Structure 1
Amino acid sequence: MIEESVVRETEVSGSGLLRPNREDARQPVAPRSRKAGNAAFIPKCIADKKYTLAAAALVTALIIAVIALAVKKPDSCLPCPPPVDAACPDDWVGYRGKCYYISEDERNWTSSEKFCSSTGASLTVIDTKRDLDFLVNFTHTYHYWIGLSRETGQAWRWPNGTEFENQFEVRGEGNCAYIDRKGLSSSRCTTPNNFLCSQEDACARRKKQTTARRNAL
């Protein structure tokens, strides 16, 4: 009986029909196709996130740029693109919102003023000590008519009729003023001298026009 039992057990074992272990049967087998699908999905997801972050960064940068331009303080005077709208004409010198023409020929005071008027300017008006010092540097040993004149016994006036405020000393007893390396002097208006014309530069004129339009509103 014992041998028969052993033989049966051997036959069953040899047939390969032994039942699997219960613990092994309980363990689920993961489908291979799902693993392969996850492996392909993960890189695509990462790539999509990169594109999304890049787009968000670009939009943020554009918004910041727009805000910066909106709050930027406007320039008091826009740049003047040469040569169409240059600040000063050719052969004129620009300084502190004015353009100066320094003549090489000599004329009397009246003829000098007429020449300046023909260019849209006038004989030079000097507003500050700083402007006076700047012009003195151009005089050297020459005398240059400026826009200051007077009737005998009357006050000095500029070409536009504004009365001179005596902020500078005018030497001499003449009725027309000129500038030299020492400052301001005067002589007879018929004396031939070089002369200085001046006018506002393009930026100063544009600023004045803008202010006038705003005040008119």
Structure 2
Amino acid sequence: MKAAKDEEASMGMLETDFTTPDCLQEVEIDKKLQEICLRIVYPESPAKLYCSYALNIILTAAVIALSVALSVRTEKPVISTLGPCYPTCPSGWIGLGNKCFHFSEDMRNWTFSQTSCMALGAQLAQFDSLEELNFLKRYVGNSFSWIDLQRESTQHPWKWTDNTEYNNLVPVEGEEKHAYLTGSGISSSRDYLKRHWVCSKSNSSTSQYSGPSSF
């Protein structure tokens, strides 16, 4: 019905334009025919336009929501992995647990070695576990280094200089009164012999560190 009405209207328009000159009349007829053809071929109602706009808005919102969901899904939580805790030790010292150790380059007798450690706010090395002992042995290597153990005689127990009795975690070899450490264990010696020494002191301030440094 709409197409028929459009055709009738167009015919009426054509009839009213016959009074114009021929060339202008033909141009006007062509324009009006084009308008009529467009209305017939592409009839658009306001309802269809509104539906098209609504559909475009819904599709756009869906694409945005999908993009946000994918970006959130691909983000992985950052897990911080920290290394073991080592004490914050002064320069030239090596840390293990809550202790700092200093390995001397000089060689002196037991008494001088203890005095040297005390001047640094420490004492000759003490160890509380096999872990600490093995750590010290590894760094001492083939050298002989004084440690804190001493005794009054072969009939007396080994003690640290704070008078705490040694728990014989590892036996001390020999018959002398002062102990020194080697890469293979603990031995005793006369205190006047010149050897390297190891100082130790506690330090409760710890930080994340990749491992002990070399000395």
Fold shared by both chains (TM-score > 0.5):
yes
* CA positional deviation for 1:93: 3.0
* CA positional deviation for 1:60: 8.3
1:50 counterpart = 2:50: no
Q: Which runs of 5+ in 2 are unaligned?
A: 1-10, 12-42, 207-215
* CA positional deviation for 1:75: 7.4
What CA distance in whole angstroms lies between the structure 2 residues aligned with 1:172 and 1:50? 83
* CA positional deviation for 1:177: 0.6
1:32 counterpart = 2:45: yes
TM-score by length of 1: 0.58
What CA distance in whole angstroms lies between the structure 2 residues aligned with 1:159 and 1:38? 93
What CA distance in whole angstroms lies between the structure 1 residues aligned with 2:140 and 2:74? 56
> Counterpart of 2:128 in 1: which secondary structure?
coil
Partner residue in 2 for 1:171: 173
Partner residue in 2 for 1:187: 189
Q: 184, 196, 199: which is aligned to 1:197? A: 199
> Counterpart of 2:187 in 1: which secondary structure?
strand
What CA distance in whole angstroms lies between the structure 1 residues aligned with 2:72 and 2:182? 63
Q: One-letter code of the match for 1:190? A: Y
1:132 counterpart = 2:145: no
Partner residue in 2 for 1:211: none
Partner residue in 2 for 1:99: 100
Measured at CA, do residues 198 and 44 of structure 1 come closer, stay the same or move farther in structure 2, by a change above 3 Å? same
What CA distance in whole angstroms lies between the structure 2 residues aligned with 1:141 and 1:76? 30
* CA RMSD in angstroms, aligned pairs only: 3.7
> Counterpart of 1:198 in 2: which secondary structure?
strand
Partner residue in 2 for 1:6: none
Partner residue in 2 for 1:142: 143
Once the two structures are overlaid, the 10-residue window that deviates more, 184-193 or 93-102, is 93-102
* CA positional deviation for 1:143: 1.8
Q: One-letter code of the match for 1:32? A: S
What CA distance in whole angstroms lies between the structure 2 residues aligned with 1:151 and 1:174? 9
Q: Which runs of 5+ in 1 are unaligned?
A: 1-15, 17-29, 81-85, 208-217
TM-score by length of 2: 0.58
What CA distance in whole angstroms lies between the structure 1 residues aligned with 2:188 and 2:70? 71
Runs of at least 4 residues off by over 6 Å: 56-62, 74-77
What CA distance in whole angstroms lies between the structure 2 residues aligned with 1:206 and 1:139? 25
What CA distance in whole angstroms lies between the structure 1 residues aligned with 2:99 and 2:174? 28
Q: Deviations over 1:79-138 (max 9, x none)?
A: 67xxxxx73332233445543211111222222122223333321113334443443344
Measured at CA, do residues 158 and 49 of structure 1 come closer, stay the same or move farther in structure 2, by a change above 3 Å? same
Q: One-letter code of the match for 1:43? A: N
Q: One-letter code of the match for 1:99? A: C
Q: One-letter code of the match for 2:108? A: R
Measured at CA, do residues 163 and 53 of structure 1 come closer, stay the same or move farther in structure 2, by a change above 3 Å? same
Partner residue in 1 for 2:7: none
Q: Percent identity?
A: 29
